[in-house]
Structure 1
Amino acid sequence: MSILELKDIQTYYGGIHALKGISLKVEKGEIVTLIGSNGAGKSTALKTICGQVQPKSGSVLFNGKNISSQPAHVTAKTGIAHVPEGRRIFPRLTVKENLEMGAFAVKDKKAIQDRMEKVFHYFPRVKERLSQKGGTMSGGEQQMLAIGRALMSKPDLLLLDEPSMGLAPVIVEQIFDIITELNKEGMTILLVEQNAFQALQVAHRGYVIQTGEIVMSGQGSDLITNEQVREAYLA
């Protein structure tokens, strides 16, 4: 059984048909990437999965359970963590307070501290800035904090939306190294990324989305050498 399966998802923003019957699967332990141009529906797919947007029809199955009509705060408690495009940290809260917000449903203080130590393992720089306001951090540091905040919920599935956006190449490399490390330690990841080359390098499998429809799928290594993909997204 797939950890995540989308079946014929139709999602609208008012009169705009954003997702036109997309279907995809993510198996436990995989990195799966969803690539496509701006406005193709990548972020909408993640928002539909985590409950921020309700599909008009179709099914979102998480560990075999239909969560299509489940509100986002309930989905967050059931094992899906979403790192949104633009990071969306709490700028006026300290780094520590941002991390604690990621564990809002956890009552055990020791468990919260243990999870925080795990975040520090991946992101030592976050530990150095615990008392700093989130909004005063650099873009790369904020991205690290956003991923760390998501990890505080100890998710079964991590949704990453454009983690490389606006970051210097050296920071992008660091972020993708962490994504790979998280996956090697067992984290299942669905990655939305406009930097298709970077995404396909780390992904086991990928889907290509155009104007709300899945037009191609395959192994990451196959898509990275596909002529159509190269011309459209890797040139």
Structure 2
Amino acid sequence: MSLLQLQEVQAYYGGIQALKGISLHVNEGEIVTLIGCNGAGKSTTLKSICGQVKTKGSILFKNIDISSWQPHQAAMEGIAHVPEGRRIFPKLTVKENLEMGAFSVKDKKVVKERMEQSFAYFPRLRERLNQTGGTMSGGEQQMLAIARALMMKPKMLLLDEPSMGLAPVIVDQIFEIIGEMNRTGMTILLVEQNAYQALQVANRGYVIQTGEIIMEDDAKTLLVNDQVKEAYLAG
């Protein structure tokens, strides 16, 4: 069953059209990846789902049209967005960052339980609990950004370039954790320039180019597609 459906979605930044009528869907329990070059519209797609940019077309989440929603409404409904560049609170501690992720939860016991669940994925964050976010490594900050999103107990996780700027060994760890989260039932829409890593972990994939979906298929099929290999997997 489709948890998320985009139908002919157009997105605009002022007078500039960034998405030119894209359609895609994410089934419950899937990892779906959206790959493409810089400026293709990947991040804009995630921002459209979250209500951060002006759109036309239909965005359905759990069969509810959310295309006119504000970001806080999407978050409260269960859509957690981990933006490109991590965007943690650099002057807050790890603990405080995680608590911000659960800002709408009043029960302190529930907050603590969710924090423990986050530490199961990211044990290093427990060790850094009282360290300010801005003093941690890029990999640790990415872990914190994802863990903060998990504090919402989301129904869908939107990940924007989780491997950006990270060392290869950390990238491997992040993608391993993405796979682990999915195996527990988490539905994930993954935007990623590292097409090889993304297609390795995903069930299905879409290729976006200049604001249009030009290809979609099973991830394994896209991995061996000559056009995809030449454009996104070379080197």
TM-score in terms of structure 2 length: 0.99
Aligned to 1:36: 36
C-alpha distance in structure 1 between counterparts of 2:16 and 2:69, whole Å: 22
C-alpha distance in structure 1 between counterparts of 2:180 and 2:213, whole Å: 28
| Aligned-pair CA distance for 1:35 | 0.1
C-alpha distance in structure 1 between counterparts of 2:157 and 2:114, whole Å: 15
C-alpha distance in structure 1 between counterparts of 2:113 and 2:180, whole Å: 18
Q: Secondary structure at the match of 1:181?
A: helix
| Aligned-pair CA distance for 1:16 | 1.2
C-alpha distance in structure 2 between counterparts of 1:224 and 1:185, whole Å: 25
The alignment-based identity, stated in percent, is 73
| Aligned-pair CA distance for 1:65 | 0.2
Aligned to 1:125: 124
Aligned to 2:196: 197
How do residues 11-90 of structure 1 correspond to structure 2 at under 5 angstroms? 11-55=11-55, 57-90=56-89
Given that residues 10 and 18 in structure 2 are in contact (C-alpha distance below 8 angstroms), is that contact kept between their aligned partners in structure 1? yes
Given that residues 13 and 54 in structure 2 are in contact (C-alpha distance below 8 angstroms), is that contact kept between their aligned partners in structure 1? no
C-alpha distance in structure 2 between counterparts of 1:12 and 1:153, whole Å: 28
| Aligned-pair CA distance for 1:195 | 0.2
TM-score in terms of structure 1 length: 0.99
Q: What stretches of structure 1 move > 4 A for 4+ residues in a row? A: none
| Aligned-pair CA distance for 1:166 | 0.2
The residue identity in structure 2 corresponding to 1:211 is T
Aligned to 1:157: 156
Q: Secondary structure at the match of 2:200?
A: helix
Q: Secondary structure at the match of 1:89?
A: coil
- Residues 1:7 and 2:16 aligned together: no
Aligned to 2:168: 169
Q: Secondary structure at the match of 1:166?
A: coil
Consecutive unaligned residues of structure 1, counting only runs of 5 or more, are none
Aligned to 1:138: 137
C-alpha distance in structure 2 between counterparts of 1:90 and 1:77, whole Å: 20
C-alpha distance in structure 2 between counterparts of 1:197 and 1:216, whole Å: 16
Consecutive unaligned residues of structure 2, counting only runs of 5 or more, are none
C-alpha distance in structure 2 between counterparts of 1:66 and 1:97, whole Å: 33
Q: CA RMSD in A?
A: 0.5
C-alpha distance in structure 2 between counterparts of 1:114 and 1:37, whole Å: 39
| Aligned-pair CA distance for 1:151 | 0.2
Give aligned pairs, total: 234
The residue identity in structure 1 corresponding to 2:8 is D
| Aligned-pair CA distance for 1:222 | 0.1
Given that residues 39 and 210 in structure 2 are in contact (C-alpha distance below 8 angstroms), is that contact kept between their aligned partners in structure 1? yes
C-alpha distance in structure 1 between counterparts of 2:95 and 2:68, whole Å: 32
C-alpha distance in structure 2 between counterparts of 1:53 and 1:103, whole Å: 24
| Aligned-pair CA distance for 1:54 | 2.5
